[in-house]
Structure 1
Amino acid sequence: MDDAAPAPGAIQDIVHRGVPLAAAWGIEVVSAAGGSAVCRLPWREELLRPGGTVSGPALMGLADVAMWAALLGETGGRDESLTSSLSIHFLRRLDPGPVLAEAHVLKRGRIIFGEVTIRSEGVETIAAHVTTSWASVTRRG
């Protein structure tokens, strides 16, 4: 897409309005442009599961938000696509601390395909791998 990407803070505002749970969890849009985005989930005790690691539902939510941020960064902040599938593979538990999700649009069309990797902030080892598809939405009249 040719639209200039809004600043990460502007995309974060769009995400927080569109997905209030992202605002409640404090998800931050670190970067979003050219079909890629990085989002940060601060460490929050209420997102833990037994054993002191971040819960699967929190990681899936972060991945979904990161993918939307990547789409917003590619479309100038205007995207109403809808998640049609999300598959996550948990590779290892995350140490206590903030979590980063890096999303990439792989193919755009009527169906949009993307990939997200999740890791602890400051650690290069991937903790979860996500593939996702989205239905492109076109508003009529």
Structure 2
Amino acid sequence: MTAFLAEIFPQVKNDFIVDHLDGENVVMRMRITDSNLRPGGTVSGPSMFALADVAAYVATLARIGREALTVTTGCSMDFMRKPEAGKDLVAKARLLKLGKALSVTDILLFSEGSDKPVARASMTYSIPPKR
């Protein structure tokens, strides 16, 4: 999966690491750099969204195979607490539903080493029809 992500999204190939992958669960890590920070030294919302989005994408592709044109069609995200400065973000994603046309994934984001979530997201992906 890491090689596939690097192939189709070379611009972010060094940003995300797949720590665990099975048929329903994904654990991913985002390396946090200065480019991910906003004023005040916290991780930006768009960076947290990116990690949640990639984790949902990986969870879906783990089940359907390499379908690069699988796309986000819906997202709801709650930001619950400030991520810890200087730590990577970790996403724990669980595929809740996989149909022919859509998948739904629930994602919790954590600062590395913490058990308190910093954000929660629900992502819906559109799966391209089989040809």
State TM-score, norm by structure 2.
0.90
Do the aligned residues in 2 keep the contact of 1:15 with 1:65 (CA within 8 Å)?
Answer: no
Q: Does 1:101 align with 2:79?
A: no
| Aligned residue among 66, 71, 74 for 1:78 | 66
Structure 1 spans left out of the alignment, 5+ residues = 1-10
For residues 132 and 106 of structure 1, the distance between their equivalents in structure 2, rounded to whole angstroms, comes to 10
Partner of 2:106: 115
Q: Deviations over 1:59-111 (max 9, x none)?
A: 10111111111122223x42342110111110001011111011111011122
- Give the alignment's Cα RMSD to 1 decimal: 1.4
Q: State the aligned residue count.
A: 128
For residues 18 and 51 of structure 2, the distance between their equivalents in structure 1, rounded to whole angstroms, comes to 10
Shift of 1:137: 1.0
Amino acid at match of 2:129: T
Looking at secondary structure, tell me which structure has more strand per residue. Answer: 2
Q: Does 1:126 align with 2:117?
A: yes
Partner of 1:45: 34
For residues 119 and 93 of structure 1, the distance between their equivalents in structure 2, rounded to whole angstroms, comes to 10
Q: Does 1:91 align with 2:80?
A: yes
State TM-score, norm by structure 1.
0.84
| Aligned residue among 49, 55, 60 for 2:44 | 55
Do the aligned residues in 1 keep the contact of 2:59 with 2:105 (CA within 8 Å)?
Answer: no
| Aligned residue among 47, 51, 68 for 2:57 | 68
Q: Deviations over 1:10-56 (max 9, x none)?
A: x11111222234315x2111111112111101121111001101111
For residues 105 and 127 of structure 2, the distance between their equivalents in structure 1, rounded to whole angstroms, comes to 13
Q: Runs ≥4 in structure 1, deviation > 3 angstroms?
A: none
Counterparts of 1:22-33 in structure 2 under 5 Å? 22-24=12-14, 26-33=15-22
**Identity across the alignment (%):** 30
